[in-house]
Amino acid sequence: MKKNDKKPGTGLILLMLVLIASSCVNHRKVSLVREDDRQATEFSVENPRETSYKVQTGDQLYIKVHSLDPNTSRLFQSDLPNLMNPTYMYLNSYTVNEQGAISFSFIDQIFVQDKTVEEVQKEIQTVLDEYFNEINVIVKLVNFQISVMGEVQKTGTYTIHREYANILQALSMAGGVNDFADINRAKLIRQTPTGTVVKIVDLSELDLLAKDYYHLMPNDIIYLDSRPIKSYTQRAVPYGVFLSVFSTALVIYNVFID
């Protein structure tokens, strides 16, 4: 064989290098809330949560009354153990009826529709303060749930046990996005009184923190579609197996042909 002749395996080596390079994921594509000025060590974004969720018919409100007086406390205790888990809270919740009201304990009707959870809590507290001393009322929205679907580590529906959640917290609950997520065109699906709204969200930009949809509402759905590169990556094609077989064949070629 002449020195300037190329071995038959040279073309295959180049082909494998191209395939391996094409399987690499550009991790900058999956960097959330990217800040372009690498010299900055601190920055702030203003986005006050001006509106809170307003209670609607069919919602479930968990109401708990605490008192320093044991006799008063017994009036509001249920027969269920105080486990404070989602099941307990649901079983001890009150459904907002079609008239937008709930019936709590000895209080006949409390109109709660279109009020925030904080406003409902204050109203119940005001009513009970007329009859009891040293009581504390807790109200929580039991059905504050969000769903995360698509290219995340753990898809599913998650219950929010506080009065507020943002889109990054929801993604964190789902284990974060994976390398194949199209974070530049995430979809936020939200139910409104007039229908369903779909918002296209760019999760990679710092400006996300200033958007109104950064703050989530109950029953929001976040969907991360796949980037086109997924079709050509190692998830679709077993490049590792090909590389192992090719390496073995190349060793045999060099041993026996040379």
The pLDDT value recorded for residue 168 is 93
Residue 253 clears pLDDT 50, i.e. is over it: yes
Amino acid at 207: D
The pLDDT value recorded for residue 48 is 62
> Based on the domain organization, do 201 and 160 belong to the same domain?
yes
Q: For the CA atoms of the chain, what is the radius of gyration?
A: 29
pTM surpassing 0.75?
no
Q: Is residue 175 part of a domain?
A: yes
Residue 174 clears pLDDT 90, i.e. is over it: yes
Q: Is residue 108 part of a domain?
A: yes
Query: The domain that contains 93 carries what CATH number?
Result: 3.30.1950.10
> Based on the domain organization, do 169 and 122 belong to the same domain?
no
Q: Output phi, psi for 88, to 5 deg.
A: -60, -45
Residue range(s) defining the domain that contains residue 70: 60-141
The pLDDT value recorded for residue 28 is 47
> Based on the domain organization, do 45 and 97 belong to the same domain?
no
CA distances from 40 to 35, 37, 46, 57, 211 (A): 9, 6, 17, 47, 22
> Based on the domain organization, do 137 and 179 belong to the same domain?
no
The tally of domains found in the chain comes to 2
Residue 51 clears pLDDT 70, i.e. is over it: no
Mean pLDDT, residues 244-249 taken together:
62
Partners of residue 223 on adjacent β-strands: 149, 187
Cα 166 from chain centroid (whole Å) = 8
Mean pLDDT, all residues of the chain:
77
Mean pLDDT, residues 148-175 taken together:
91
Mean pLDDT, residues 167-175 taken together:
94
Token reading at 35: 């800040």
Mean pLDDT, residues 193-203 taken together:
90
Q: Return the H-helix or E-strand segment holding 157.
A: strand 156-159
Cα separation, 217 vs 164, in Å, equals 8
CB–CB of 163/141 below 8 Å? yes
